[in-house]
Amino acid sequence: MVKKENNKKQNILKKLLIIFLAGVLSLSFAACDGNKENPDPSGTPEVSPTENDDGNQTSHEGDTMKVVFFEIGKADAFLIYNSGATLLIDTGEPEAAEDILKYMDKKGLGTIDYLFITHFDKDHVGGASRIIENIDVKQVYTSNYPKSSGEYDNFKSAVNKKKVPASVLREDSTFEIAGMTIEVDAPLQDVYDDDPSNNSSLIIRIAYGEKSFLFMADAKGERIKEYNGTDPKGCTVIKMPYHGKYVPGLDDLLKKTQPKYAVITSSKDEKEAEETNQTLKDHNVQIYKTRKGRVIIETDGKDISVTQK
């Protein structure tokens, strides 16, 4: 009985410490939020999007949006761009920054309008400091759960050094830029009992005309249950949660979102679960795995093409 009570006290103290650290994170970011001209992260876009019958925004006529899923092992980094804006969702581990920067240089992309860090595990935030130091980043948005690590400290240092406006997203938010509608589903809890870092992932949906992309980050059971409870919109492409490991609620998620394509960020050494592959096949979803090469998806808002190399 004494041991159980001690464990309970330790869990309470741990949660209080995490909430305190989250407050420190907000204060740190607030210091570089001054004179910000980017959309208010409260959830209302500055410009109301034009919508089609599916609730998706009409794309810039004749413009193509590209989504690049980098081949960087069991890690996440996704570059989304068209002629009007460039977004980056996560940055992989530290060495992934070189791949991202080389690709951007080759395509003549010198600015990142929005950088989203879905959560602070090193395979999502690891390359952020180098990218911020080498590319003009206009705005950073992050999850609410801080994590003590060298990668996290380097990220904070780079944000403060370059004076990049940065905000913690604690509520669902919607942004509109260059024909894209970006909807961010924020975690409901400050601290999750199970795997709090992964379950604090931001879930991001980007709509471009009739096509849409759903980035599930590393959401696990609790977080996916939350998201399923929001009656989520459908999507054309889903970036599978947690590198393709099988997670509770996956079948329900696919029933609700009905994607045509799925991208899994796994590696040769850490492959996705066979149960995940089978679940996707059961839903007639075409599967692409970054361990087999970089995946590039292009769409003009109506047609869509997928290549892998």
Instruction: Quote the domain boundaries for residue 173.
Output: 2-33+43-308
Helix axes 250-257, 274-282, angle to 10 degrees: 30
> How high is the pLDDT of residue 308?
98
Q: What 8-state DSSP symbol labels residue 193?
A: S
> How high is the pLDDT of residue 147?
86
Q: Dihedral angle at the C-alpha atoms of 165, 169, 175, 177, nearest 10 degrees?
A: 40
pLDDT digits (tens, 9 = 90+) for 110-140: 999 999 999 999 999 999 999 999 999 999 9
> How high is the pLDDT of residue 14?
52
User: Does 22 map to a domain?
Assistant: yes
d(CA 308, CA 289): 9
Residue with tokens 């990218």: 131
Q: Across-strand partners of 206? A: 182, 213
Radius of gyration of the chain (CA): 19
Give kind and range of the element (H or E) at residue 5. Answer: helix 2-30
> How high is the pLDDT of residue 110?
96
Please count the structural domains in the chain: 1
User: Does 179 map to a domain?
Assistant: yes
User: Does 208 map to a domain?
Assistant: yes
> How high is the pLDDT of residue 53?
34
Which residues of the chain are under the pLDDT cut of 50?
Answer: 1-9, 24, 26-27, 30-59
Quote the distance between the C-alpha of residue 157 and its chain's center. 21
> How high is the pLDDT of residue 10?
52
3-state SS string for 58-106: CCCCCCCEEEEECCCCCCCEEEEECCCCEEEEEECCCCHHHHHHHHHHH
User: Does 95 map to a domain?
Assistant: yes
> How high is the pLDDT of residue 18?
56
**For the chain, percent of residues with pLDDT exceeding 90:** 79
CATH of the domain at 245: 3.60.15.10
> How high is the pLDDT of residue 49?
34
| Sequence-ordered strand ranges (E) for the chain | 65-69, 77-81, 86-91, 111-112, 114-117, 136-137, 140-142, 166-168, 173-177, 180-185, 203-208, 211-215, 237-239, 261-264, 286-289, 295-299, 304-308
